[in-house]
Structure 1
């Protein structure tokens, strides 16, 4: 009988291990726990703080007009500006008004920032901003359109699909669909660097998102506020006031009832867990509201009528309140939609990029006023790039695109990665550009993993644990032996 029980226990143990290993979520949990000893980065020095801000341009920004050739040759043409005009047709920006920039790492070539972005161009020339060229979702390197046509390389799921590519930019796992983001996985690994955990390390000013969702927690969502400058911050429990309101008997009674309810202990596990969650939420609201209550310095002004400015104002207030939040490491998520310009691309970008430029200019000035510009990095992301060719009135979904990073720690005035040839392949005949899969849909020359790895390592993820945050990173570089791109020290 004892032998039978022992065999049964061994069988159940083996079956349990097999079941756990077959469930991705539980397997991820186990991996995180097993990795905890190597995941903990060296404790930051006293007073050190670092934060990254993801600016997601939802819809797929036409980024080869954000950053376009200005002078000098490309790899396929003696005059890169002429090549750009030939490929873009009626989507080409006129030379007049372009903001020429002079990267220090592209000898013989200059580039142009969109006319609506004087602040970005100025910050680039001052060395506080950089571009990362032709970034996109990749599982492994893809070098030419022949590999795409033959499917000889693993390709991301749902290329050119908004929903799939938004998810993949936020998870950096293009081979499968998951609700866990790379900032969420990063939080799972390094959140204990923050001494206080009442408010999540990941803060969103645009609702819930995949990017900041982890296994052990999720984003703390706050509001950007209204056009008149009112509101913003954490959302309170309706009808609750932690203090005594002499003018409201109802509020006092309701608040007393809530306090009494939150103080209760429950023997039922589900009830008790739910109650603890409510207490944690109330504590987080109180901490965040207090930390962001003070006004920003007078010179740190943001435009109420600009929705992105309002979001970045809330980020600036949370950064200013980092001491009360006991935050040493943070991520922030802000978002601006409406970039799916299948028509009226030039007119739409003219106004929308102006709004982005105004907001990031105001955010940079706020960081300088707070004397923390060297400890914060803002970076852009988007669903995908867009076709170089015109559909007559706009551009369509594509693959690789250009992005910018802004911060005092950025190795600025450079274009990182490979700015691609903008030549188009003919419908038949000799191939000119191996990266063009058709209509100027360019294969990325920089993977999202290389782009994101710079930010993750800078924030404190050890190279030995980077594969837990970015599972495909090792397909593009060797963490710990070689750096990804080099735009952050």
Structure 2
């Protein structure tokens, strides 16, 4: 056993020895065990080849009741009765093959999700049913009694943070960043271990890993430090670079800002050179007509641009000496209290068309088997119609896509889409049957983390049963 491996296991043992209870995860996340993990630069169990994990976060709480819709007569009738004007018409659904949810149950996706449905049918995408921010599995009676619930259950900021970090808002690290802590020593350029394409997010923050943010066109530059920039003197860029390289500050905020600026200067040239050599098609400039009316143009869509720069970085991975990377892209506009049937089809199309293009681009590079993308969101929504939309819920259905994914399946227990069921905790809100930690455990295992390492990254994982079998 090598030194870094022993160090990692020692750090993990420190967490266990601290006497953390089965459900004490929020207290565990920023304690000494994770600090030791980062300080020892532990490697994950397996870092052969190259792998990348991409989180696509849909801010606002996605209404997945309309993403995966029952199509058999009995279940569509109960869905339509509960949804009223929010129901997707049956003739606007595209059937999914082999859902694996019991005899007679049939499901479909709206036409706006056609590119994702095509990946599903090709065996490159799976549906993971009814995932939510569980601390541990709970029953409906426990929910009603307020036992075992996450804090601030229906709060946007807190539940988005729970998805990304397993803690409410204010968490110092996320499980993507903690995964990066265990993986970064394998990378030739550790600074590019955790990368955000739409700003900072706790998901990518680790005890040692700091998220590296890229813009839609590549590295974000310190403009005044670039050759050719001047404000009264052409000597400004060189002087600024020299000052930043040699400065320090006793003020924590100034010191952190200085560290980020210094890192940007050091890393941007390296990354820009690597990206220049990454051959990738441009985003299409033609309008894509939507069955619901209107159109989108991928070259104008932020989520498509984010995924393209991620694909560029993945293509440049070998030139940068990368083995494992965690990325995050995001899109806002999913809080559909009103105008849902006007806005939701457009949001679906933005995600589906962008992810479809991304997967096709990776396929062209021969890298689709090396990349897994998963969706996430604050929470699901109510099944009932509030008059013009749906309100905050809990469990929701998500997608996992990539060449290594064992697709063409609905994984987990897909609840009956109706009111008054065992899964309905009020207004058609779903009681989750799979925890975020379980999904994260399966994804981190694919990335190469051992079961011991997963317990450090996901401290409440032992509270659950096995995670979804996502990969072949």
Structure 2 Cα separation of the partners of residues 417 and 376 of structure 1: 22
| CA shift digits 1:117-148 (9 cap, x unpaired) | 1101111011000000011000111122x211
Structure 2 Cα separation of the partners of residues 452 and 257 of structure 1: 45
Residue 251 to residue 385, structure 1, CA distance change in 2 (3 Å): farther
CA displacement at 1:273 relative to structure 2:
9.1
Which residue in the other structure is 1:215 paired with?
A: 207
Structure 1 segment 255-334 matched on structure 2, within 5 A: 255-262=237-244, 264=246, 278-294=261-277, 296-298=279-281, 301=284, 303-334=298-329
Which residue in the other structure is 1:64 paired with?
A: 65
Structure 1 segment 51-450 matched on structure 2, within 5 A: 51-71=52-72, 79-108=74-103, 109-144=105-140, 146-151=141-146, 153-173=147-167, 178-197=171-190, 199-224=191-216, 232-241=217-226, 252-262=234-244, 264=246, 278-294=261-277, 296-298=279-281, 301=284, 303-425=298-420, 433-450=421-438
C-alpha contact (below 8 Å) 2:442/2:467 kept by paired residues: yes
SS at match of 2:202: coil
CA displacement at 1:107 relative to structure 2:
4.3
Structure 1 Cα separation of the partners of residues 406 and 242 of structure 2: 54
Structure 2 Cα separation of the partners of residues 163 and 268 of structure 1: 31
CA displacement at 1:402 relative to structure 2:
0.6
Of stretches 259-268 and 334-343 in structure 1, the one that deviates more from structure 2 is 259-268
The unaligned stretches of length 5 or more in structure 2 are: 1-17, 19-25, 286-297
| CA shift digits 1:451-480 (9 cap, x unpaired) | 111111111221112121111111112xxx
| CA shift digits 1:209-245 (9 cap, x unpaired) | 1111111132111112xxxxxxx21121223335xx5
* Structure with the higher fraction of residues in helix conformation: 2
Structure 2 Cα separation of the partners of residues 24 and 441 of structure 1: 28
CA displacement at 1:42 relative to structure 2:
3.5
C-alpha contact (below 8 Å) 2:101/2:413 kept by paired residues: no
C-alpha contact (below 8 Å) 1:233/1:289 kept by paired residues: yes
Of stretches 53-62 and 453-462 in structure 1, the one that deviates more from structure 2 is 453-462
| CA shift digits 1:322-360 (9 cap, x unpaired) | 123221111111111011111121221111111111111
CA displacement at 1:296 relative to structure 2:
3.2
Structure 1 Cα separation of the partners of residues 282 and 275 of structure 2: 17
| CA shift digits 1:391-411 (9 cap, x unpaired) | 111111011011001100001
CA displacement at 1:386 relative to structure 2:
0.4
C-alpha contact (below 8 Å) 1:39/1:462 kept by paired residues: no
Structure 2 Cα separation of the partners of residues 24 and 304 of structure 1: 44
| CA shift digits 1:424-455 (9 cap, x unpaired) | 12xxxxxxx22211110110011111111111
Residue 281 to residue 299, structure 1, CA distance change in 2 (3 Å): closer
Structure 1 Cα separation of the partners of residues 231 and 282 of structure 2: 41
Structure 2 Cα separation of the partners of residues 35 and 292 of structure 1: 28
Structure 2 Cα separation of the partners of residues 452 and 206 of structure 1: 21
Of stretches 377-386 and 251-260 in structure 1, the one that deviates more from structure 2 is 251-260
Which residue in the other structure is 1:461 paired with?
A: 449
| TM-score, normalised by the number of residues in structure 2 | 0.85
SS at match of 2:90: coil
* Count of equivalent residues: 434
SS at match of 1:148: helix
Structure 2 Cα separation of the partners of residues 172 and 276 of structure 1: 27
| TM-score, normalised by the number of residues in structure 1 | 0.82
Q: Between Structure 1 and Structure 2, whose CA radius of gyration is higher?
A: 1
SS at match of 1:117: helix
C-alpha contact (below 8 Å) 1:299/1:369 kept by paired residues: no
Residue 156 to residue 263, structure 1, CA distance change in 2 (3 Å): closer
CA displacement at 1:275 relative to structure 2:
6.6
C-alpha contact (below 8 Å) 1:68/1:113 kept by paired residues: yes
Structure 1 Cα separation of the partners of residues 230 and 424 of structure 2: 67
TM-align CA RMSD: 2.8
Structure 2 Cα separation of the partners of residues 408 and 160 of structure 1: 34
CA displacement at 1:181 relative to structure 2:
0.7
Structure 2 Cα separation of the partners of residues 272 and 384 of structure 1: 36
Structure 2 Cα separation of the partners of residues 131 and 99 of structure 1: 15
Residue 103 to residue 36, structure 1, CA distance change in 2 (3 Å): farther
